[in-house]
Amino acid sequence: MADLGDHLHSEGLLLGVYVRPGGWLTDLNKTILGTDITIGSVCTGDNGLNQCNWDYGADGVQQWHNSVVDLFAEWGVDSTKLDFITPGSPQNGANLPANTSLSAVNYHNAIAQSGRQMRLDISWKLARDDVDFAIWQSNSESFRTDQDINNGGDPTFILYQTVQRAIDNYRQYIVLHTAQDKVLTIYPDMCNMYIANPIAVDGVDSDDEWFTIMTHWIGVGSNLILGSDLTNIDATGMSIISNAEAISVADFAAKNPMRPRNPGTGLGDANNSKHGSAGPIAQATHSSSWPTTVLTKALAVSALVSQECRTLVLHGQIWG
């Protein structure tokens, strides 16, 4: 794995790993590194994913997380995705404990003690109440605001109505948790983007829907991670993901996201237009601090939150 990390870094790429809360059931008799504590003495039950459930706060639990992240650091890992966190994650056939939020705390602390800069992204469709959100905000770089948008087992990657659901879940989150001029300290993760393959592969109906996905993901400050088949990127897909002007807007929106505004009420409640919009007007914060060129581009992005005019402005200003 260390060789893989070195190779990826030499190519300008990053190495990410995927983890879930709990130790492995096959490891119950193993001793936690640096202790005389067995995993099975502090991790019991079966969460339905071949893993046991930690007794958070017990001696040995943080040490186990430290040992795992130290190994990740030796490999050169840059990002860790921690999935199936509760409260929030649907059971999806598993037997998840009601609350595994302290797993995010344990991984956060483990990353801090490792001495390596490493992202922690937690998932999926996590609870947004103030108590739980404070944990996500203090211990991770991003959190999933919805379920996966991809079509599991289907010949195409996505259905556009699923993308619209993800956009509306973002609206619900941002309206609930951010004041007018609040700068983000945690990123919303709206799932991977499926925008770089031929339309028949991605599952969108038109280039416009591609542009709309990219625009929303940029404008809300989401993780910008491709879920597309990297061996089958077409010309339009390449033009979308390599557009320098769009990326310049993403740099700003990463800290100052769009906030949907209903044109009737001026608030964040949904307006169900004929396109199923999550709220057709967006307001970008701190706009007075934007350089003029960036402001023009960002307002073009903001305009696209309106499904009524979703690509008209952006085509001329950025995607063109």
Joined tokens for residue 135? 């944990």
Catalytic machinery residues: 83, 148
217: Cβ contacts below 8 Å, ≥ 6 apart = 190, 193, 224
218-250 core/surface letters (b: 16 or more CB in 10 A; e: else): bbbbbbbbebbeeeebeebbeebbebebbebbb
35-50 core/surface letters (b: 16 or more CB in 10 A; e: else): eebbbebbbeeebebe
Contact (Cβ atoms closer than 8 angstroms) between residue 97 and residue 86: yes
Helix extents (H) in 203-308: 207-219, 235-241, 244-253, 292-303
Q: Which helix (H) or strand (E) holds 140?
A: none
